[in-house]
């Protein structure tokens, strides 16, 4: 666990809210079969992929957007969105548009091979396309495939065909169906048998163009006895209109493999009056297919106007393990309905859930979780801890834990607390010379510690800094 | 000029008047004890000096080094040299002692950041002096601490922050003899020309370890009697009733 260091120079405003002035190839607004075909054509996809998309699209047309989440979302006009936008000039790492390079510098992403972070291989998705992946050669030597999903569809069609949609089927839910029809880019990772990926695999998602939806699709496969750690980060310009990010992430963990998936989500959250911001409607699911496989989700959610997201694990392999660690911070008018599902299918499976929700301003922050033990999943174990911290009087927190157990041998434990930062804690810390903000920030970081320590070290430091910035101005 | 000067201090919580005209002067280098029966306002006095937001000062003043501190927030008072040893320190879960101490020491450092090496060295020395195990530094602040551990933690902070005026609010309550001796050892190490100390207590016991030069008796929100060490003995033998009678007689 790194020591927390406060950088007092950090600014409170959303520093990623700028727009890159770059010529884009954007298709007209609207969604129909022709648009799906255009996207597929732009990606130079094989016919089977187009058919897969069209099937999903036809399903989606019959579906209705879900209303069960505890969020208040204006109706989205799906015909008023651009479904594809990409920088006009072909982009690659060697001769990247200087504007783009500048953008990545401002975002703090080292994209040149020479500045690339030594411990991290990075893929960057700018609006609808991947603009480059670092450390490719080193990974290739190990047999690791880490590339954009578009590239994978062309270069590794058999792997994609074998796994795409097997964890989150196209008809799983409204947004998953939409994503399956119009997904544009995302990452593809394949770790071959017995390989421990030596670097963090990381994707950075950037929305730049206005009125554009981003439909990320990521697929991670960890073969027998393989291990990898993957991290994604997200930002978008500050705009007074809402933008949609509807992602699908699928993870397949085969026998005795381990995948650690971490997210630092910092989409533009709208202004203090709740104008603008990203709608983050995401389906993330991992499938522990092999025996003793393990999937661990860690998420730090500090952005987006509305978040609807439940990274889940289907624990099918005997002895498999699922974990979910979450910090969700909401401020101003942000709304979050987030949590997880742990589905115990195999024998001797176990899962752990630690959720820390922090609400400030007039925001609403909800944990929604399902722990399900199917018949025959003997000796399933789950331990859930869901804590909420309220800052101020106008915010709210709710916990919706669902437990369905069909097997008597299951051991399920659930703990939940809701608290405010107490006056006594603030007085105590202030009487030691800490300002009100530093005192509150310290209490909040302590509250989140169990989750932060699950993040890869370098990202843990970043996540803590990010949370500090978000806390500024939300206290007092 | 006394370093801490409390003048005709009246304070209330809600509609209840608790302090009704406290006068007290403490210089650096002096050790004062404040005693009094339950409900006399001892803990209120310490909270008001530190600036607890629940209390309202309705009359009078508190001066530190000649300046009124009534308009100052608790953190400003702390940085001006005041320290309060809490009777019931609260837990801050997940915040390690080393992290918390570093932040608090940084806040006092002229450049806003104390060098980590010397800080750690000093803290380890002080912890050893208070019989605290090294591993203690990694624990959450007051999280699951025993009564004795909490009080040691308070003394550790006092030793690290080096206040000009420290108030110990019933630090002895709930301590066994061993813990009391360790706590007193820490306090006595700090005694000297740079520290003025106010020891608030219900029992005489702590005053045999930390010997005060002055003793004050607080009753019904007022200091009704002051004296030297001999007064400790008298209170121990006779309780507060004779004080009460004497106050009534002279009223």
Which residues of chain A have a CB within 8 Å of the CB of B92? 425, 428-429, 442-443, 446
DSSP A29: S
Domain boundaries, chain A: 24-426
- Which of A431, A440, A443, A448 to substitute to test the interface with B, most B CBs within 10 Å? A431
- What is the dotted CATH code of the domain comprising B4-90+164-250? 3.40.50.300
DSSP B214: E
**Chain B closest CA to A421's CA: distance in Å?**
10
Report the pLDDT value the prediction gives residue A92, as an integer from 0 to 100. Answer: 57
- Which of B51, B74, B137, B168 to substitute to test the interface with A, most A CBs within 10 Å? B74
Which residues of chain B have a CB within 8 Å of the CB of A427? 50, 52-53, 74
Instruction: Give the other-Cβ count within 10 Å of A155's Cβ.
Output: 13
User: The tokens of A343 are what?
Assistant: 């589905």
Contact A245, A283 (CB under 8 A): no
Subunit contact A438:B103, Cβ cutoff 8 A: yes
Contact A388, A359 (CB under 8 A): yes
Q: Is A175 helix (H, G, I), strand (E, B) or coil?
A: helix
Cα(B84)–Cα(B49) distance, integer angstroms: 9
**Chain B closest CA to A403's CA: distance in Å?**
28
Subunit contact A445:B95, Cβ cutoff 8 A: yes
**Chain B closest CA to A424's CA: distance in Å?**
7
Q: Which residues of A touch B (CB under 8 A)?
A: 1, 3-4, 6, 8, 422-425, 427-436, 438-439, 442-443, 445-450
Subunit contact B104:A433, Cβ cutoff 8 A: yes
Subunit contact A3:B108, Cβ cutoff 8 A: no
For residue A125, give the nearest of A202, A190, A53 by alpha carbon: A202
Subunit contact B107:A8, Cβ cutoff 8 A: no
Subunit contact B107:A429, Cβ cutoff 8 A: no
Subunit contact B94:A445, Cβ cutoff 8 A: yes
Per-residue model confidence as pLDDT tens for chain A (476 residues): 333 333 333 334 677 777 777 778 888 999 999 999 999 999 999 999 999 999 999 999 999 988 888 888 888 999 999 998 887 765 555 566 677 667 666 666 655 544 445 566 777 777 767 766 677 778 889 999 998 899 999 999 999 999 999 999 999 999 999 999 999 888 999 999 999 998 888 888 877 777 888 899 999 999 999 999 998 887 777 777 888 999 999 999 999 999 999 988 888 888 888 888 999 999 999 999 999 999 999 999 999 999 999 999 999 999 999 999 999 999 999 999 999 999 999 999 999 999 999 999 999 999 999 999 999 999 999 999 999 999 888 999 999 999 999 999 999 999 999 988 888 999 999 999 999 989 999 999 999 999 998 888 767 887 888 888 888 767 65
Instruction: Give the other-Cβ count within 10 Å of A172's Cβ.
Output: 17
CB-closest option in A425, A433, A436 to B92: A425
CB-closest option in B86, B89, B103 to A434: B103
Cα(B198)–Cα(A419) distance, integer angstroms: 35
In degrees rounded to 5, what are phi and psi of residue B179?
-65, -40
Per-residue model confidence as pLDDT tens for chain B (251 residues): 789 999 999 999 999 999 999 999 999 999 999 999 888 999 999 999 999 999 999 999 999 999 999 999 999 999 999 999 999 999 999 999 999 999 999 999 999 999 999 999 999 999 999 999 999 999 999 999 999 999 999 999 999 999 999 999 999 888 888 889 988 999 999 999 999 999 999 888 888 899 999 999 999 999 999 999 889 888 888 888 888 888 888 76
DSSP string, A346-367: STT-EEEEEEEEEE-TT-EEEE
Strand order in the sheet with B4-13: B16-26, B4-13, B55-64, B67-68
Subunit contact B100:A3, Cβ cutoff 8 A: no
pTM for this prediction = 0.85
CB-closest option in B51, B86, B93 to A447: B93
User: The tokens of B108 are what?
Assistant: 């006092």
CA torsion, ordered A116, A117, A118, A124, to nearest 10 deg: -70
Report the pLDDT value the prediction gives residue A238, as an integer from 0 to 100. Answer: 77
Contact B186, B211 (CB under 8 A): no
CB-closest option in B74, B102, B140 to A431: B74
DSSP string, B122-164: HHHHHHHHTT--GGGGGSEETTT--HHHHHHHHHHHHHHH--S
Subunit contact A432:B78, Cβ cutoff 8 A: yes
Subunit contact B75:A445, Cβ cutoff 8 A: no
- Which of A6, A427, A453 to substitute to test the interface with B, most B CBs within 10 Å? A427
Among chain A residues, CA nearest to B79: A433
Subunit contact B51:A431, Cβ cutoff 8 A: yes
Report the pLDDT value the prediction gives residue A1, as an integer from 0 to 100. Answer: 32
Report the pLDDT value the prediction gives residue A9, as an integer from 0 to 100. Answer: 31
**Chain B closest CA to A40's CA: distance in Å?**
49
**Chain B closest CA to A434's CA: distance in Å?**
6
**Chain B closest CA to A350's CA: distance in Å?**
25
User: The tokens of A336 are what?
Assistant: 């979050």
Domain boundaries, chain B: 4-90+164-250
Q: Which residues of B touch A (CB under 8 A)?
A: 50-54, 73-75, 77-79, 83-84, 86, 89-90, 92-96, 98-100, 102-104, 107-108, 112, 140-141, 157, 161
Subunit contact A3:B78, Cβ cutoff 8 A: no
CA A119 to chain CA centroid, nearest Å: 21
CA A217 to chain CA centroid, nearest Å: 11
Cα(B145)–Cα(A295) distance, integer angstroms: 35
Which residues of chain A have a CB within 8 Å of the CB of B74? 427, 430-431
Subunit contact A442:B140, Cβ cutoff 8 A: no
**Chain B closest CA to A115's CA: distance in Å?**
29
Which residues of chain A have a CB within 8 Å of the CB of B53? 423, 427
For residue A298, give the nearest of A245, A354, A350 by alpha carbon: A354
Tallying the residues shown for chain B, one arrives at 251
Cα(B151)–Cα(B132) distance, integer angstroms: 11
CB-closest option in A429, A431, A449 to B50: A431
CA A261 to chain CA centroid, nearest Å: 9
Cα(A14)–Cα(A11) distance, integer angstroms: 8
CB-closest option in B50, B98, B104 to A434: B104
Report the pLDDT value the prediction gives residue A463, as an integer from 0 to 100. Answer: 83
Among chain B residues, CA nearest to A452: B94
Angle of helix B97-108 versus helix B116-129 axis, rounded to 10: 120
């Amino acid at each position: 666990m790194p020591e927390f260091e406060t950088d007092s120079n950090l600014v409170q405003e959303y520093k990623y809210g700028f727009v890159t002035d770059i010529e884009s190839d954007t298709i007209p607004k609207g969604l129909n079969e022709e648009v799906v075909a255009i996207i597929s054509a732009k990606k130079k996809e094989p016919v089977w992929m187009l058919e897969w998309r069209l099937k999903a699209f036809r399903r989606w047309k019959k579906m209705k957007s879900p209303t069960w989440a505890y969020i208040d979302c204006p109706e989205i006009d799906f015909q008023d969105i651009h479904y594809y936008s990409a920088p006009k000039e072909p982009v690659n790492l060697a001769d990247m548009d200087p504007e783009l390079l500048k953008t990545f510098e401002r975002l703090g992403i080292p994209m040149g091979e020479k500045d690339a972070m030594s411990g991290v291989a990075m893929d960057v998705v700018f609006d609808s396309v991947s603009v480059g992946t670092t450390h490719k050669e080193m990974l290739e030597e190990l047999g690791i495939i880490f590339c954009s999903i578009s590239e994978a569809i062309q270069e590794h069609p058999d792997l994609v065909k074998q796994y795409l949609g097997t964890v989150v089927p196209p008809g799983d839910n409204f947004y998953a169906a939409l994503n399956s029809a119009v997904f544009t880019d995302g990452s593809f990772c394949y770790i071959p048998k017995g390989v421990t990926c030596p670097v963090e695999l990381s994707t950075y998602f950037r929305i730049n163009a206005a009125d554009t939806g981003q439909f990320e699709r990521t697929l991670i496969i960890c073969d027998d006895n393989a291990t990898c750690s993957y991290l994604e980060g997200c930002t978008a310009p500050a705009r007074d209109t809402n933008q949609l990010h509807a992602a699908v992430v699928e993870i397949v963990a085969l026998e005795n493999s381990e995948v650690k998936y971490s997210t630092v989500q910092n989409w533009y959250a709208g202004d203090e009056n709740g104008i603008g911001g990203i709608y983050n409607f995401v389906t993330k699911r991992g499938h522990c297919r092999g025996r003793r496989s393990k999937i661990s989700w860690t998420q730090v959610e500090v952005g987006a106007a509305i978040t609807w997201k439940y990274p889940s694990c289907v624990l099918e392999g005997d002895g498999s393990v699922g974990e979910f660690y979450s910090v969700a911070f909401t401020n101003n008018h942000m709304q979050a309905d987030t949590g997880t599902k742990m589905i115990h299918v195999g024998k001797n499976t176990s899962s752990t859930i630690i959720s820390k929700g922090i609400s400030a301003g007039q925001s609403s922050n909800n944990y929604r979780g399902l722990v399900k033990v199917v018949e025959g999943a003997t000796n399933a174990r789950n331990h859930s801890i869901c804590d909420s911290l309220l800052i101020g009087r106008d915010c709210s927190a709710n916990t919706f834990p669902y437990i369905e157990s069909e097997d008597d041998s299951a051991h399920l434990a659930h703990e939940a607390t809701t608290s405010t930062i107490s006056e006594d804690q603030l007085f105590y810390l202030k009487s030691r010379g800490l300002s009100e903000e530093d005192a509150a920030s310290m209490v909040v970081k302590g509250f989140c510690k169990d989750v932060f320590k699950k993040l890869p070290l370098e990202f843990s430091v970043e996540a803590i800094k990010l949370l500090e910035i978000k806390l500024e101005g939300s206290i007092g | 000029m006394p370093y801490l000067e409390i003048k005709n201090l009246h304070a209330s919580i809600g509609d209840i008047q608790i302090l009704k005209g406290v006068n007290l002067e403490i210089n650096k280098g002096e050790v004062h004890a404040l005693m009094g029966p339950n409900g006399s306002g001892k803990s209120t006095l310490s909270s008001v000096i530190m600036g607890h937001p629940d209390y309202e000062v309705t009359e009078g003043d508190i001066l530190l080094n000649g300046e009124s501190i009534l308009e100052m927030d608790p953190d400003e008072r702390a940085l001006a040299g005041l320290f309060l040893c809490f009777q019931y320190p609260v837990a801050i879960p997940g915040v390690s002692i080393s992290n918390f101490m570093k932040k608090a020491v940084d806040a006092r450092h002229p450049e806003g950041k104390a060098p980590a090496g010397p800080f750690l060295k000093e803290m380890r020395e002080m912890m050893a002096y208070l019989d605290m195990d090294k591993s203690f530094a990694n624990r959450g602040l007051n999280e699951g601490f025993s009564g004795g551990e909490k009080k040691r933690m308070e003394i550790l902070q006092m030793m690290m922050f080096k206040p000009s005026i420290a108030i110990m609010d019933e630090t002895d309550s709930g301590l066994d003899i061993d813990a009391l001796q360790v706590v007193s050892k820490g306090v006595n190490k700090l005694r000297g020309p740079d520290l003025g100390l106010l020891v608030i207590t219900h029992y005489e016991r702590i005053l045999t370890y930390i010997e005060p030069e002055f003793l004050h008796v607080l009753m019904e929100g007022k200091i009704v009697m002051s004296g030297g060490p001999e007064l400790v003995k008298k209170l121990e033998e006779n309780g507060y009733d004779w004080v009460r009678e004497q106050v009534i007689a002279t009223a």
